[in-house]
Amino acid sequence: MLRWTITFIVIAIIAAILGFGGIAGAAAGIAKIIFFIFIVLFALSLLKGLVKK
């Protein structure tokens, strides 16, 4: 999931350099959403591992 986040961040940076502001903003927004989903799933995974012990 972090690989997707990095991919969208790179797309956003390249689009911003080339002057495509709308695409850059959209890609950055998607990267932010995927990153927060990753954080939530990671936290749930940690909690599940702690409860299982």
Average pLDDT over residues 21-45: 94
Provide the residue ranges of all domains of the chain, joining segments of one domain with +. 2-48
SS (H, E, C) 1-53: CHHHHHHHHHHHHHHHHHCCHHHHHHHHHHHHHHHHHHHHHHHHHHHHHHHHC
Cα(13)–Cα(9) distance, rounded to whole angstroms?
Answer: 6
pTM summary value: 0.79
Categorize the per-residue pLDDT at 41 as very low, low, confident or very high, splitting at 50, 70 and 90. very high
